[in-house]
């Protein structure tokens, strides 16, 4: 069964500035959260999808565990090269089964890794949230980390009050990535997503998922479509844009600290 979009990490050097920018763009931004391996984040929720604004705020807490290496240290190194979209995470119904599928296909980058933290409801009540992640690796895309994420207390995480945005964004429409040769990433993405096929677009391809789509296109095609410079792909494929849709959404795009946010009116 295909895995839908779950969340994306927007890695930034200045977390407070990023949160303020997203608020100015009309998003509801959650409180600052802290992880035991030193990263801090703010969450921007949409129904069944979220943006994780993230920075490494306490590097002294880095350890040798999987989250320290694959999550915190990776994003530290990513930010050192510039802000932007650093990780693509899909939903998981069973992290254990996804690990087995990734291993069978030769793309597994970790065992299942679980962590929990305290969250807060809008009224300030503390609740527990928990996640299990299993990472996958595309050797041709070292500047993107991929993972599938299983939520253990979804009732404590998702909240309609956090999903109402002044800009009218109602759902995620898709993620856009760029590569010099998109076709070289097709096989990996089909295994990673669990999709059966990809639709050719001439300059790349699109994979339809239960929630949103993944588009992979060339830098030139990205620049023609969005009117913005594509990320540097000399080191491999890069995440370039996040698309939102909504019935009352004003169509347009905004540049947000190394990433493009594209707003599209839906019917």
Give me the domain span that covers residue 67: 5-162
Q: Measured between alpha carbons, how far is 62 from 87 in angstroms, rounded to an integer?
A: 19
Residue 253 neighbours by CB under 8 Å, 6+ apart: 226, 227, 228, 241, 260, 261, 262, 263
Question: How many domains, in total, are found in the chain?
Answer: 2
Q: Is 198 exposed, middle or buried (0-12, 13-18, 19+ CB in 10 A)?
A: buried
Residue 119 has pLDDT above 80, yes or no: no
Is 182 found in the same domain as 144?
A: no
- Which of residues 162, 192, 216 is at a domain's end? 162
Is 176 found in the same domain as 157?
A: no
Q: How many CB atoms lie within 10 A of CB 247?
A: 9
Residue 72 has pLDDT above 90, yes or no: yes
Say which CATH number the domain at 202 has: 2.60.40.4320
Say which CATH number the domain at 52 has: 3.10.180.10
Is 151 found in the same domain as 83?
A: yes
Is 148 found in the same domain as 82?
A: yes
Q: Mean pLDDT check: name the lowest of 120-129, 161-170, 203-212, 233-242.
A: 120-129
Is 13 found in the same domain as 137?
A: yes
The pLDDT of residue 1 is: 81
Is 210 found in the same domain as 138?
A: no
Confidence of residue 99 (pLDDT cuts 50, 70, 90): very high
- Which of residues 103, 137, 162 is at a domain's end? 162
Does the global pTM surpass 0.85? yes
Q: What is the mean pLDDT of residues 205-218?
A: 98
Is 188 found in the same domain as 154?
A: no
Q: Measured between alpha carbons, how far is 219 from 235 in angstroms, rounded to an integer?
A: 13
Is 119 found in the same domain as 33?
A: yes
Contact 204, 216 (CB under 8 A): yes
Q: Measured between alpha carbons, how far is 245 from 170 in angstroms, rounded to an integer?
A: 6
Is 215 found in the same domain as 132?
A: no
- Which of residues 94, 128, 162 is at a domain's end? 162
């Amino acid at each position: 069964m295909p895995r839908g979009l779950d969340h994306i990490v927007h890695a930034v050097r200045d977390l407070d500035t990023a949160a303020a920018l997203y608020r100015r763009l009309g998003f509801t931004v959650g409180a600052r959260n802290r992880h035991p391996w030193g990263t801090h984040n703010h969450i921007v929720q949409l129904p069944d999808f979220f943006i994780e604004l993230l920075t490494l705020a306490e590097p002294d807490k880095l350890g040798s565990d999987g989250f320290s290496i694959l999550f915190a240290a990776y994003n530290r190194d990513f930010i050192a090269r510039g802000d932007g979209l650093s990780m693509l995470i899909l939903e998981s119904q069973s992290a254990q089964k996804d690990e087995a599928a990734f291993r069978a296909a030769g793309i597994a980058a970790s065992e299942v890794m679980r962590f929990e933290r305290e969250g807060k409801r809008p009224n300030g009540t503390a609740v527990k949230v928990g996640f299990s992640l299993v990472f996958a690796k595309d050797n041709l895309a070292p500047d993107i980390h991929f993972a599938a994420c299983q939520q253990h207390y979804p009732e404590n995480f998702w909240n309609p009050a956090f999903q109402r945005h002044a800009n009218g964004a109602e759902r995620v429409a898709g993620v856009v990535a760029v590569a010099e040769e998109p076709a070289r990433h097709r096989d990996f993405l089909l295994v990673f997503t669990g999709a059966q096929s990809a639709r050719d677009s001439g300059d790349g391809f699109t994979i339809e998922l239960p929630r949103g789509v993944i588009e992979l296109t060339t830098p030139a095609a990205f620049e023609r479509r969005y009117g913005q410079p594509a990320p540097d792909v000399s080191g491999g494929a890069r995440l370039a844009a996040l698309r939102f849709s909504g019935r009352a959404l004003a169509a347009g795009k905004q540049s947000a600290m190394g990433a493009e946010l594209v707003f599209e009116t839906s019917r």
